[in-house]
Amino acid sequence: MLKDLTLLQPARYFPIDKGKYAIKPGLFSLNSAFGNGRLDGCTFQVDTQIEEYLAEKQKCRIEQLDKYFLTRNLAPDTASVINSFIVDTLLSDHPDLFALQHDNDSRFLHCRITGDDIHTSDNKTHLNKQITLLDHLAMQIQEDMAIVQLDQHNNNTLSALHLCFPNYWSGQEKIGRDFIAVHKPVPGIERINQRATELLHAMINKGPFVRFAWGLTTDKRLNHHPSPPPGVDALDWQGRAFNAHNPELYMRIERQTIHGFPKQKAVLFTIRTYFQDVVVIKQNQEKRQHLIGAISSMPESSLAYKGLVQSRPEILNWLNDH
């Protein structure tokens, strides 16, 4: 797939602020530099791991597509505008990997990585065709995506999810719900939820933004849907059983970009998942101390949510043993 293509190494992020665990919006301008060159400014980052990510997305399709791709009350105009934005952004950010081709009255987005030609000129008012196009575009990128739609009364709805790399949450439980309901299980989210409408309006009318989230896991499995695929042991699927005698621990980091569409009163979220080996982090004195501080300052409710209640003492002992 990648023959004759020159791809960048994956970006690296360490989103722990001063060694203190905190729940906050943490919005940065998309133009902010984090040491990864031009990748930092890209909505869709394409790198040497793309084959692995797209292969995992294909596994999700084979297992059960509507477990990972869901829509609810998605407006045709919103879908059309966001699809056009995705196409234009891929062409702008990665002109060496994506090209627009024409055949009579039809337009096709050609992806050099997958070899796919995606028909992009379907009827803009035909919702099913726009949903199909959104799915096809999602299968060319390493990010998951979510769309939040506001109505005329400022009620918001999670109206689309293409979520092949869920971090211990189910799209089926979130689709069609509002911002507060979607985030309610997150400990410490109350202050942010109180400002949900204000925050969403800022996301729609300002930006674009980038933000980060992180957690710890003992494997590098991209797909951690709460329900394992058929035939997979549920306990093994969880990936949170730390063993200090055979330590394997990773920071699971999400880079989320946020783009607003004022006319449609909608927001597109992209979610790119990375893993950083904590064995490597442990060798860096500053990062090790920041990680120790963040884990130590994490409240019990957050530990429980992240599945770390039992593991925290062992993880801290291991991190301090250097």
Q: For the chain, what percent of residues have pLDDT higher than 70? A: 97
Cα-based torsion angle of the residue sequence 32, 33, 38, 41 in order, rounded to the nearest 10 degrees: -20
Q: Which residues lie closer than 8 Å to 245 by C-beta, 6 or more apart?
A: none
Task: Tell whether omega for the bond before 208 is within 30 degrees of 0, i.e. cis.
Answer: yes
Treating both helix axes as pointing N-terminal to C-terminal, what angle do 312-320 and 285-296 enclose, rounded to 10 degrees? 160
Q: Looking at residue 53, what is its pLDDT?
A: 98
φ/ψ bin of 149: left (φ > 0), alpha (ψ from -120 to 50), beta (otherwise):
beta
The per-residue pLDDT for range 226-279, each reduced to its tens digit, is 999 998 888 778 767 788 888 889 999 999 999 999 999 999 999 999 999 999
Q: Looking at residue 246, what is its pLDDT?
A: 87
Tell me if residue 66 falls in helix, strand or coil.
helix
Q: Looking at residue 235, what is its pLDDT?
A: 78
pLDDT at 37 over 70: yes
Residue pair 208/267 in contact (Cβ under 8 Å)? The answer is no
pLDDT at 3 over 70: no
Tell me if residue 16 falls in helix, strand or coil.
coil
Q: Taking the CA atoms of the chain, what radius of gyration do you get in angstroms? A: 20
φ/ψ bin of 77: left (φ > 0), alpha (ψ from -120 to 50), beta (otherwise):
alpha
Residue pair 60/223 in contact (Cβ under 8 Å)? The answer is yes
Region 298-316 average pLDDT: 83
The per-residue pLDDT for range 267-294, each reduced to its tens digit, is 999 999 999 999 999 999 999 999 999 9
pLDDT at 224 over 70: yes
Give the domain ranges of the chain: 28-74+143-320
pLDDT at 194 over 80: no
The b-or-e profile of 198-224 (16+ CB within 10 A means b, else e) is: ebbbbbbeebbbbbbbbbbbbbebbbb
The per-residue pLDDT for range 85-125, each reduced to its tens digit, is 999 999 999 999 999 998 877 899 999 999 999 999 767 77
Q: Looking at residue 123, what is its pLDDT?
A: 72
Q: Looking at residue 115, what is its pLDDT?
A: 95
- The band of 322, judged by pLDDT with boundaries at 50, 70 and 90, is low
Name the phi and psi angles at 82, rounded to 5. Answer: -70, -40
Helix, strand, coil shares, percent, the chain, to 5: 35, 20, 40
Q: Looking at residue 239, what is its pLDDT?
A: 66
- Whole-number average pLDDT of the chain: 91
* Type of residue numbered 169: W
The per-residue pLDDT for range 121-175, each reduced to its tens digit, is 767 778 999 999 999 999 999 999 999 999 988 899 999 999 999 998 999 999 9
Give me the DSSP letters along 116-141: -EEE--S-TT-HHHHHHHHHHHHTTS
- In angstroms, the CA 232 to CA 171 distance is 20
